[in-house]
Amino acid sequence: MNSTRSLFKDKQLLSIYYTAGYPTLDSTLDIAEKLEQSGADFLEIGFPYSDPVADGPVIQHSSEVALKNGMNLHRLFEQLKDLRKRVHIPIYLMGYFNPVLQYGVENFCRDCQEVGINGIIVPDLPMYEYEELYQDIFRRYNISNIFLVTPQTSEDRIRKIDELSTSFIYLLSSNATTGKHLEIGNDSTVYFERIRNMELKNPVVIGFGISNRDTYLRATEYAHGAIVGSAFVKLLEEEDYLNKIPDFISQIKT
């Protein structure tokens, strides 16, 4: 299993997000394996939640279908028991805090470690709550907590995030929900350059609005990598989607 730290020696990395249990309950590992074979550098596997407030309609729909298919954290960890027999690139789980809390934070981190998950992205877990209540648990199981930065995040808070981070920092391209097309105008340029000029110790990856080669290249001018989510989840709606994944990746990276 490759560590993300060694991965970030390179730049212009591509991460792909998709929802566990979508389009079918048992498709999670098949998609991960095909993405690695096709050239994705690391992955974010979303665990579905009934109230995904930060997600756009495409990912909301995938969560609804996944829940109807029977996906939950217990079933996901069962599926992931064979993860590291088939997939070797870094993998992060992404979702909302309520399912993690119901599962038990220590149980969650322990099971992440057992199946080979590198870290988690939980947008609605407050930084102070993580630091005071959960940081020791995450460290005990060697699970990175990925923090999000938005255009409104203050420099002091970003510095604090940089101190607490052990993998990468997730830079939101805007305050919009997922699925919005990335437009790098003057405001975005100032924002991205401000982050770059801070010379943070952790690598930065840009997400939200990355959908094709043009937006990927624009984002990676300012960051170590970019995350494609909604555009890939749309592909999973198509017939024979597994065989279409190599072309999808190559059109972005090459």
Q: Which residues is 216 bridged to in the sheet?
A: none
pLDDT tens digits for the chain (254 residues)? 456 667 887 778 999 999 999 999 999 999 999 999 999 999 999 999 887 666 789 999 999 999 999 999 999 999 999 999 999 999 999 999 999 999 999 999 999 999 999 999 999 999 999 999 999 999 999 999 999 999 999 999 999 999 999 999 999 987 554 445 555 555 678 899 999 999 999 999 999 889 999 999 999 999 999 999 999 999 999 999 999 999 999 999 97
Catalytic residue among 55, 82, 124, 156: 55
CATH superfamily of 4-146+210-249: Aldolase class I (3.20.20.70)
Q: Which residues is 144 bridged to in the sheet?
A: 119
Q: Does residue 126 sit in helix, strand or coil?
A: coil
Listing from the earlier edge strand, what are the strands of the sheet with 119-121?
Answer: 144-146, 119-121, 91-94, 42-46, 13-19, 225-228, 204-210, 169-172, 148-149
Distance between CA atoms of 96 and 103, rounded to whole angstroms?
Answer: 12
Catalytic residue among 36, 41, 44, 111: 44
DSSP E strand stretches across the chain: 13-19, 42-46, 91-94, 119-121, 144-146, 148-149, 169-172, 204-210, 225-228
Distance between CA atoms of 169 and 149, rounded to whole angstroms?
Answer: 7
Assign residue 40 a region (left: φ > 0; alpha: ψ between -120 and 50; beta: otherwise).
beta
136 given a catalytic annotation: no
How buried is 53 (Cβ within 10 angstroms: 0-12 exposed, 13-18 middle, 19+ buried)? exposed
Q: Does residue 37 sit in helix, strand or coil?
A: helix
| pTM for this prediction | 0.93
55 given a catalytic annotation: yes
In the chain, domain spans: 4-146+210-249
User: 242, 215, 218: which is closest to 230 by C-alpha?
Assistant: 215
Looking at this protein, which amino acid is placed at residue 174?
S
